[in-house]
Amino acid sequence: MSRTPVILHLDMDAFFASVEQADDPSLKGRPVIIGASDRGVVSAASYEARKYGVRSAIPVAQARKLCPHGVFLPGRHRRYREVSRQVMAVVACFSPLVEQTSVDEAYVDISGMERLFGTPERIARRLKESIREATGLTCSVGIAPNKFLAKICSDLNKPDGVYILDPADVPGFLARLDPYRISGVGKRLAETLRTLNVRVITDVLRFSEAFWAEKVGDKAARFLYARARGQGSSEIVPYAEAKSSGAENTFARDTRDPEELKRWLLRQAERVGRDLRSDDRFGRTVTLKVKFADFRSVTRSISLPRPVQATEDIFRAAEGLLDALPLPQSVRLIGVSVSNLSRGERQLDLLNDGRDEARARLDKALDALRERHGRDAVTRGRLFGHDRTA
């Protein structure tokens, strides 16, 4: 007889802000907000800042009004990735089945691990202690029969909490929760549920699946009905290749200057290219993203005849897309990404292999210098004197 899976969801508490507080003890107890440009959005907020209504994804300008005494920081994403690797190394000591879903979240299959580490509660406590010892950070843990439920559980006792859901308690558990708790239920679907007086998740079962299919479509109906019954995947995918790599910037001032926009594209192409080269990945599709002053966004993509990872190749493709894009008004944000990725598939153009080799050597040299001395150790001539905050 098969056993009910035991799935653990790990969620680091206010991760970016907590890393800053751990690295700088003078920030402990203070409202720390990651996002320094008034033109951008908040990417993280400490729990001290959340007391004032500051949340991720709200405009930084709004956050300053809500919490004028907050500590606003630009963020150090390389550092966050470094700490994330430390966290995941600890998690891997508790189970070989770990699915990292973001820089600060992971699912872990701990089925059968009782023989090594004790009860699920004991595993959760030991995991939290180990992460705190390795990083100085706290996390919250949820344990349930599947990933859908485990993720909800990890959010219930934040910060630094543990919530364990026994399979027998699932129906009663869902009968107490707002449908908003279901990952994937957005504002539009939630509004539909409210109009039908669906106040808790199990209220979905008052209607047939066919009824829901008429209201929200077949796919959403199957999804809702499964979640209302507590059903969800318990499969852990230990590793998944990244589907794309991208970079974007919101400007301090809107601009229509094509040369200024291209300088930002070159900076972004450097970041994306460095990311691809660090993992020996190549991409065939380059996508340009532009957000105008009225917040309207457009994207344009091009599929290249061969996979690329060189900064110059990425930039030239993005530059061509920008040249072909009308700019009816000033630009607020620009970005570039590379997708359709593969690994180790370098294909030289036989008519251009000399230049390809030169670009590869240049990129390798620049990457090495920046790795050793920091990103500002060396600058391409076209970017010399370029203001990153422009």
How does strand 162-164 pair with strand 44-45?
unpaired
CA distances from 93 to 83, 97, 321 (A): 16, 10, 46
Q: Are 154 and 163 in contact (CB under 8 A)?
A: yes
Distance CA 42, CA 55 (A): 7
Contacts of 287 (CB under 8 A, 6+ apart): 244, 246, 299, 300, 301, 321, 336, 337, 338, 339
Q: Among all chains, which residue has been given the structure tokens 């699946």?
A: 209
The identity of residue 163, as a single letter, is: Y
Residue 322, by phi and psi: left (phi above 0), alpha (psi -120 to 50) or beta? alpha
Q: Among all chains, which residue has been given the structure tokens 């990244």?
A: 242
Residue in 105, 270, 312, 319 annotated catalytic: 105
| Adjacency order of strands within the sheet including 44-45 | 44-45, 32-34, 71-73
If you count them, how many residues does the chain have? 390
Distance CA 148, CA 232 (A): 6
Q: Is 99 a catalytic residue?
A: no
Distance CA 102, CA 88 (A): 11
Q: What is the set of active-site residues?
A: 105
